[in-house]
Structure 1
Amino acid sequence: MGDKSKGGGDAGGGGAKANDVFRDPFIRYLAYVGEIGRSLSTFSCPVSKNLSFFTGLTSTYILADTVRTGYMAFKDNQGAGKEDKKDDKKEDKDDKDDKKKKGKDQKKGKDDKKDEKEEKPPPPPGPKPIAAAFDRYTWHMLASLLIPSYTLGGVRNGVDRFMCFLKVPRPLRTYAVAFSALTLIPLIIRPIDMLSDHILDVSLRKIYSPPPPPSPPPKEEEDDKKDKKKKK
C-alpha cells in the first residue's frame, strides 16, 4: 500500500497509514526477502539455494497486505453507512420535536439548528474495496518487486564487474557483491516506497481516487444568507 512506509497518499484506501502494520518499516523487510535470497544465492549453503522459500515469503506478504487493505476499505464503508443512518434518524426525531413546540423563540432555535446542519460539510466518500486492493497490489508491484529488483540487480552486476576489473579473487568478489546488496537494502526501502507513491499519484490514482470534498463557503456568504432569512 508507514515511513513510505508512512508517507504518500494512498488513494485506494491506505487512509490510516499510521496504523498500517504492513507498512511498518520493519515489516517492509518481508518485501525484500526475495532479494536477500538472490544476494545469498552465490554461496554454497543449502538455505541460499532454495529461492522459492524467499520468494514465497514475499508473495505471501504482498497478498496478505492486499487482502487486508480491501477488507479495511469494505469495513470503513459499512461503518460510514451506519453512521449516516443514525444521523438521519436523529434529524427526523429533532424535526418532530420542533414541530410540536410553539413560540417565536422556539422557531428561532429551529432556524439556528437548520443553519448548523447546512454548515456541516458532507463526509468524504470512502475508497471502494476493489480500488483499495488494486491500489495496494499495484503499489507492491512497484515498491516490493520491480524497482528493488532492478536496483539491487544493477548494484550486484556493477560491483561484480568492478571487482573483475580490479582482478579481485572470486571468493572475495562473491562476498563483496552479497555484502553491497545486503547493506543497501535498509537505505533504499523508504526512497523506493516514496517513489512508488509518487508514480501512482501522478498516474493511476487520478483515475480511481475519489474527488476531494467541496470546500465550505466563506463566513461572509453564510452571514449574508442568515440575514436574508431573517428579513424574510
Structure 2
Amino acid sequence: MGDLGPPGAEREKVDIYRDTWVRFLGYANEVGEAFRALVPVGLVWATYGISTAYVTADAVDKGKKAAVAHGDKPGKTMMVGAAVVDTFIWQALASVAIPGFTINRLCAASLLLLGKTTRWPLPVRKWTTTAVGLSAIPFIITPIDRSVDFLLDSTLRKLYGTEEKHKP
C-alpha cells in the first residue's frame, strides 16, 4: 500500500495493548468470574493469570515508550517509573480487581436470588447466572474506567506531577 497522509507527517502507531484484540485479554478474569458457577475454581484463577500478564505487559510497554520519548532528558527515570506504575495500577484496578469483584458479586447474588425465587434446576440457574455475568461486562467497563481515572487523578498522579488521563 502507498503512503497515507502528507509527506513527513508522523503516523500514529497502533498500541497493541489498547488498539487490537490483545486488549480483550484484560477481560479474561471477568469472563472467568461469569463462568465460576460452571467451571473448576482453578480455571477461574487461571483467567486472573491471563489478565495480570496483560496488565504487566502493558505497563512494561508503556515504560519502554516513555524511555524512548524522554531520551536523555533529565528526570527520565522518574518519567519511566511513573509511566510503569501508573499503567500497572490503573490496569490492575480497572481491568482486574474492580471488574472481577463486580462480576463475582453480581453472579453470586443472581445465583442466590434465582435459588430463592425460582424452582429452576441448578444447572439452569448456573447457566443463567453465567449469562447475567457475561451480559454485565460491557456495562461495567466505562463506569469503572472513569472511576479509576478519578481515583488516580485525585491521588497517585498528584504525587508524580501528572494528571493525564489514562487511555483505556
TM-score (norm 1): 0.56
CA 207–172 in structure 1, closer or farther in 2 if over 3 Å, else same: same
Letter in 2 for 1:59: T
Tell me how large the CA RMSD over aligned residues is. 2.9
Whether the 8 Å contact between 2:55 and 2:91 is mirrored in structure 1 is: yes
Q: Residue in 2 aligned with 1:21? A: 16
- In structure 2, how many angstroms separate the alpha carbons of the residues matched to 1:163 and 1:41? 16
CA 129–170 in structure 1, closer or farther in 2 if over 3 Å, else same: same
Tell me which structure has the larger Cα radius of gyration. 1
- In structure 1, how many angstroms separate the alpha carbons of the residues matched to 2:29 and 2:48? 5
- 1:154 equivalent among 105, 108, 111: 105
Whether the 8 Å contact between 2:32 and 2:44 is mirrored in structure 1 is: yes
- 2:155 equivalent among 203, 208, 217: 203
Q: Residue in 1 aligned with 2:142? A: 190
For structure 1, the residue ranges without an aligned partner over 5 or more in a row are: 1-16, 82-124, 213-232
Whether the 8 Å contact between 1:76 and 1:126 is mirrored in structure 2 is: no
Shift of 1:26: 4.7
CA 196–27 in structure 1, closer or farther in 2 if over 3 Å, else same: farther
- In structure 2, how many angstroms separate the alpha carbons of the residues matched to 1:151 and 1:198? 18
- In structure 2, how many angstroms separate the alpha carbons of the residues matched to 1:163 and 1:141? 31
Does the residue aligned with 2:90 lie in a helix, a strand or coil?
Answer: helix
For structure 2, the residue ranges without an aligned partner over 5 or more in a row are: 1-11
- In structure 1, how many angstroms separate the alpha carbons of the residues matched to 2:163 and 2:140? 32
How many residue pairs end up in the alignment?
A: 150
Q: Residue in 1 aligned with 2:5? A: none
Shift of 1:50: 2.7
CA 155–41 in structure 1, closer or farther in 2 if over 3 Å, else same: closer
- In structure 2, how many angstroms separate the alpha carbons of the residues matched to 1:20 and 1:197? 19
Whether the 8 Å contact between 1:36 and 1:182 is mirrored in structure 2 is: yes
Whether the 8 Å contact between 1:127 and 1:209 is mirrored in structure 2 is: no
- In structure 2, how many angstroms separate the alpha carbons of the residues matched to 1:25 and 1:151? 25
Letter in 1 for 2:123: P
Correspondence 1:1-232 to 2 at 5 A: 19-24=14-19, 26-43=21-38, 50-78=43-71, 81=73, 128-167=79-118, 168-210=120-162
Does the residue aligned with 1:29 lie in a helix, a strand or coil?
Answer: helix
Shift of 1:58: 1.1
- In structure 1, how many angstroms separate the alpha carbons of the residues matched to 2:21 and 2:82? 26
Q: Which has the higher contact order (CA 8 A, sep 6+)?
A: 1
CA 21–207 in structure 1, closer or farther in 2 if over 3 Å, else same: same
TM-score (norm 2): 0.76
CA 197–23 in structure 1, closer or farther in 2 if over 3 Å, else same: farther
CA 51–149 in structure 1, closer or farther in 2 if over 3 Å, else same: closer
